[in-house]
Structure 1
Amino acid sequence: MGDGTEDVSVCVESTQVFFVFGSVRIVSRLIDGKYPDYQQIIPSEFSTTITLSRDEFLRAVRIASIFSGSENEKVRMVVGGENGGKIFVHAESSGQGKNSTELSGEFSGDTQDVVLSPRYLIDALSSFSGESVYVLMNNSSSPVVLRDTLDQKLSTYLIMPIRG
């Protein structure tokens, strides 16, 4: 995988496809059965809508992940409530200390306090290419939906909260 001039071997079978190039082997298998209707699990209505800078949110989550500890990695996102209309990302662990970052953004709807995996947040935010991201939620136990403002239909990420 150097300059892009290597040969790729492709083998297609009825339920599998193989790609081999250099020392890399990729196998893809056809899944038996019906693919689940993923649209059923993505909420269509939300009680809270947040619009944030993707880079600022990503930076805050990366910093918070350092303070979240290695065993129970989790970050808390708090919106509204005692904070007014402010948005915070918090993390703490006994061995790493505490971190709290206030984010600038737009918030409408209900107050929220949700605990999420920093890894999943980082994966989602890193995959988006727009400057801003929508964070959509209903409550602390419902899925949180992240959408790239650049392309909402193609860039949707669903994250289940962690019990805090």
Structure 2
Amino acid sequence: MKLSVLQENFTYGLTTTSRSVAAKAQLPVLSNILLATDQGRLKLSATNLETGINLWLGAKIERQGAISIPAKILTEYVSSLPAEKIDLEIKENLLYLTCGSYKASFIGLPAGEFPNIPSLKGKPEVSLLTKDLSLAISQVAFAAAQDEGRPVLTGVLIQTKGENLILVATDGYRLSLKKLAGLREIQKVVEFQKGLLIPARTLVEVGKIISVGDEEKTLGLTITPEENQVIFTTPDCEIVSRLIEGKFPEFEKILPQKGTTRVILDAQGLAMAARVAAIFARESANIIRFEVGDSKLKVSANAAQVGDNVSEVEAKIEGKGGKIAFNSRYLLDFLNSANSDLINFEMTTSLNPGVFTPAGDKSYLHVIMPVRVQE
């Protein structure tokens, strides 16, 4: 293999693909990125055996070839080079790299030892507008569980309901739900009617990739039932992920009914009060308290060894008011994703879930379970 590629492009490609490299690889080759020529472009591939990525970069190809190189050192080295042309050449098991006055060689492994990553053949089954999906992922994926103890909760359920595509995630303490409307072609795909469980980590990575560039571009999505995989495609990238097996909780049954107290709040004011309270809450299991009444929401936290704080947020209130407590981290995660100037908050009692929605946006709903506290 002999080719030339721009340092900026190569750095972007290596940084992106390296996020799919196995953190604790059982096989040396899983710590590598595969470099290969493919139809006049440089193809980068990486996998952790759960998720795989193929990414193509523009390059001037002089000779075909392929080799896999340790991802960490190659990415770190290329990122440190000046923004100039990089020349790559393979000789036996070595990759020689030249960038201006900088020269290096890397010991690689044969391309034949690298795991095969499926690639889409033909057109994708469905196409989604990237700006809609990128926002939906940012509003849902964070609510999935990090603990692998219950694998189904580490995924995001994607399912068609009527004319909507619904994304749902829950870790048992909170639930995020987002509806995307007007996606008629998806309704015809049987797998979406049944529901797909996609690892949240995969969707976060998809979100990072599609958030770069033109908002009007589309993302292709294809299901391979025989391999239990999903393939996301853009013109220059493919992300392949296994689907999670198992039954997702029947989330519709646990969605709260309309609350007896409804509050409209300034999102920025609530976020600031929550962040301030979280400083004290760190010392007391991240618990912050809400008290609704007298056209204001009181946000407070206390820690026996530190002290306490109280903030007031102007609010428009309907209903009898009341008190409730939440985990500050869960509340801040939602506020960071809300993408709205005003927030609707509904509650019934201190033991019933709190429901948060962006004002004027019925497509997004977030539920947080309360924390039981002693008065």
Shorter-chain TM-score: what band?
0.7 to 0.9
After TM superposition, give the deviation of residue 5 of structure 1 in Å.
4.6
Q: TM-score, normalised by structure 2?
A: 0.38
Shift of 1:56: 0.5
- Say whether residues 1:147 and 2:357 are aligned partners: yes
Q: Which residue of 2 aligns with 1:15?
A: 228
1:1-164 map, 5 Å: 5-6=12-13, 7=44, 9-10=53-54, 11-12=117-118, 14-16=227-229, 28-80=241-293, 84-153=294-363, 155-164=364-373
CA-atom RMSD in angstroms: 2.5
Q: Match of 2:277, as an amino acid?
A: A
Deviation at 1:107, TM superposition (A): 0.7
Structure 2, unmatched stretches of 5+, are: 1-7, 14-43, 46-52, 55-116, 119-223, 233-238
- Cα drift, residue 111 of structure 1: 2.0
Instruction: Give distance in 2, aligned partners of 1:100 and 1:40.
Output: 35
| C-alpha distance after superposition, 1:2-34 (max 9, x if no partner) | 768514634357234699xxxxxx884423233
Q: What letter corresponds to residue 303 of structure 2 in structure 1?
A: S
Alignment CA distance shift 1:51-1:31 (3 Å): same
How far apart are residue 35 of structure 1 and its match?
2.5
* CA shift digits 1:115-151 (9 cap, x unpaired): 1000000000100111000011111011111101142
How far the C-alpha of 1:60 sits from its partner, in A, is 0.2
By relative contact order (CA 8 Å, sep 6+), the higher-ranking structure is 1
In 2, Cα distance between equivalents of 1:92 and 1:55: 22
Three-state SS of the structure 2 residue aligned to 1:113 is strand
Higher radius of gyration, 1 or 2: 2
* Secondary structure of the structure 2 residue equivalent to 1:34: coil
Once residues 122 and 86 of structure 1 are traced to their aligned partners in structure 2, the CA distance between those partners, rounded to angstroms, is 19
CA distance in 2, matches of 1:65, 1:100: 11
AA in 1 matched with 2:313? L
Paired residues of 2:284 and 2:302 also in contact (CA < 8 A): no
Three-state SS of the structure 2 residue aligned to 1:59 is helix
Counterpart residue type for residue 160 of structure 1? M
- Kept in 2, the 8 Å contact 1:66–1:96? The answer is no
Separation in 2, partners of 1:106, 1:159: 21
CA contact (8 A) 2:295 2:314 kept: no
What is the CA–CA distance in structure 2 between the aligned matches of 1:75 and 1:27, rounded to whole Å? Answer: 40
Check the 8 A contact 2:283/2:303 in 1, yes or no.
Answer: no
Q: State the number of aligned residues.
A: 153
Higher helix share: 2
Q: How far, CA to CA, are the matches of 1:110 and 1:50 in structure 2?
A: 11
| Structure 2 residue matching 1:104: 3-state secondary structure | strand
Letter in 2 for 1:127: S
Shift of 1:63: 0.2
State the AA in 2 paired with 1:115: A
1:17-54: CA deviation from partner (whole Å, max 9, x where unpaired): 699xxxxxx88442323332212211122101000011
SS in 2 for 1:61: helix
Would you say the 8 A contact 2:343–2:359 is kept in 1? yes
- Classify 1:150/1:73 alpha carbon distance in 2 versus 1 (closer, same or farther; 3 Å): same
